[in-house]
Amino acid sequence: MASAPSETDFLVVGAGVAGLRAAIELASAGRVVVLAKREVTDSNTQWAQGGIAAALSDEDEIRFHLADTLSAGDGLCNVEAARILVEDAPARIEELIQWGTEFDREGTRLTFGREGAHSHNRILHAHGDSTGREILRALYAKARTLKNIEICEFEFSTDLLLENGRVCGVQMIRQDGLYRHLSACAVLLATGGMGQLYSNTTNPKVATGDGVAMAFRAGAAISDMEFVQFHPTALYLANAPRFLLSEALRGEGAYLRNSEMARFMPQYHHMAELAPRDVVARAIIHELEVSPANDPIVFLDLTHLDAHHIQKRFPRIYATCLQYNIDITAEVIPVRPAAHYAMGGVRTSLDGRATLPGLYAAGEAAATGVHGANRLASNSLLEGLVFGAIAARSMRDEIRTVSPAEEPPPPQSSEDNARNVEGTVREIQEVMWKDVGVVRSGAGLGNAIRQLEDMSSLVAGATTRRSHEAQNLLTSGLLVARSALAREESRGAHYRTDFPEHNDARFLKHSLCVGNSITFV
């Protein structure tokens, strides 16, 4: 892969599903540069197992998909954004198929699965449990056929460039530590999530909230940061990554059992294991708290299901668990919740525009309001496809003459706290998990904010890639904690023990962060 040029027509920061779909849409309008922080394959898209939702089956309808999306969003979905999502879904799926995406089929017919909070079977999968990887492969292959698209790997964007209040490019840090500038007519942030804010997460190492932090520092509005979705079932073993155990496992009939091996979800919700993710995650936390065991564990149980079907349906999960000596067809799997998805991000209009001229956002980095307070399972890949394309169509209108940006001076040499940056990252993650996690309280959130603010000097003056990531994590963490403290109610993925009920009169609104102020609109 070539290094990034100094100027282009359109700049896409991020090479997951939203970024690549946007680049494909932009290619006929001008030159497109896509920046990948690491390899193109190192993104949340690559890790997505569960599938992608679309009302394509004979038994389903778009209105049912919309109703399920709105229900999961717990009153806070932008209805028009959700309608766009579900109405565009069939066309985006057909497009993927035309570009070579190999969704699972029975004969010639697409197969559709069921996941939590869906009323109908509408989840498409690819290679069992590798849906994101297959979609990314097809999008990347399509993008490589378009001569106007240049994909640059290992290009880490640190900040947005502004000229007279307009975003005109980005600053990047090379692997050798030198900075470069890249100017563009319009910039799309498709940088993905921020799961690395937490000590337990299903997200890859690159998910450090870079896009949100960059946009916030530049003065863009950030919205709904308090809503962080915790996936209920991540593999929980010492010295093992928190590998995602797809919700589709429960869709196939897996049970959740507590440390006494009793099935417990029917006590918490009428949909039992297929309840919305926030309900399941809190139920697991409660079971851990009330367990008499010294080191309580919750288990996912598939042993009553057909072993051959499970191996075929979930080959990646089956193989990964075997690496840790767990045969999921014969043994229960230890699980705990882990940070999975951010509903909040850079506030955008329905056409992907951020509040700063020249800036756009799509996918997990954006806050369109499409997910409300809690994302419906398998709407994330779909959001990237739908709103990546929509944002790109808006960006096409920004075409104009661009001059190469002046190169920045070399960074001032400093210790950069390099020896301590990993310790600082771990401290941020531990604070966030303890006080800004699945269950929150005003006291805990206040404590987290104080601790995070005290760390600000530790991440100041970043001059390495990792210290920039630490800076972005701290910025994102404070946005989450401050927004969570301001929302004095429980809704969707945000649950406070001191305000356990909805408060529609005050908080049936979206949080908005600009500078140090938080308002609800």
Average pLDDT, the chain: 93
Rounded mean pLDDT, 461-478: 95
Contact assessment for residue 277 and residue 235, using Cβ atoms and an 8 Å cutoff: no
Give the chain's radius of gyration (CA, Å).
22
Residue type at position 499: F
Tell me, what's the pLDDT at 296?
A: 87
- pLDDT, tens digit, 9 for 90 and up, residues 24-65: 999 999 999 999 998 887 655 555 556 899 999 999 999 999
CA angle at 495 for the pair 494 and 499, rounded to the nearest 5°: 120
pLDDT band at 3 (very low <50, low <70, confident <90, very high): confident
Give buried/exposed letters for 23-61 (b at 16+ CB in 10 A, else e): bbbbbebbbbbbbbbbebbbbbbbbbbbbbbbbbbeebe
> 277 catalytic, yes or no?
yes
Rounded mean pLDDT, 433-455: 97
pLDDT band at 115 (very low <50, low <70, confident <90, very high): confident
Q: Coil, helix or strand for 362? A: coil
pLDDT surpassing 50 at residue 414:
no
Rounded mean pLDDT, 441-449: 98
pLDDT band at 138 (very low <50, low <70, confident <90, very high): very high
Tokens at 467, concatenated = 């210290």
Q: Which domains does the chain have, with CATH numbers?
A: 21-227+343-410 (3.50.50.60), 229-339 (3.90.700.10), 418-520 (1.20.58.100)
Ramachandran region, residue 393 (left: φ > 0; alpha: ψ -120 to 50; beta: rest) = alpha
- pLDDT, tens digit, 9 for 90 and up, residues 160-210: 999 999 999 999 998 888 899 999 999 999 999 999 999 999 999 999 999
Residues 6+ apart with CB under 8 A from 325: none
Give me the phi and psi of 414, to 5 degrees please: -160, 165
Rounded mean pLDDT, 394-421: 71
- pLDDT, tens digit, 9 for 90 and up, residues 275-299: 888 889 999 999 999 998 888 889 9
Strands (E), 292-349: 298-301, 333-342, 345-347
Contact assessment for residue 129 and residue 246, using Cβ atoms and an 8 Å cutoff: yes
Active site residue: 83, 92, 242, 277, which one?
277
Using CB atoms within 10 Å of the CB of residue 164, give its burial: 0 to 12 exposed, 13 to 18 middle, 19+ buried: exposed
- pLDDT, tens digit, 9 for 90 and up, residues 224-241: 999 999 999 999 998 888
Alpha carbons 86 and 65: distance in angstroms, whole number: 6
Tell me, what's the pLDDT at 27?
A: 98
Of the candidates 456, 451, 450, which has an alpha carbon nearest to the alpha carbon of residue 430? 451
Tell me, what's the pLDDT at 461?
A: 85
Record the pTM: 0.93
Cα–Cα distances in angstroms (integers) from residue 315 to residues 19, 105, 329, in the given order: 28, 16, 12
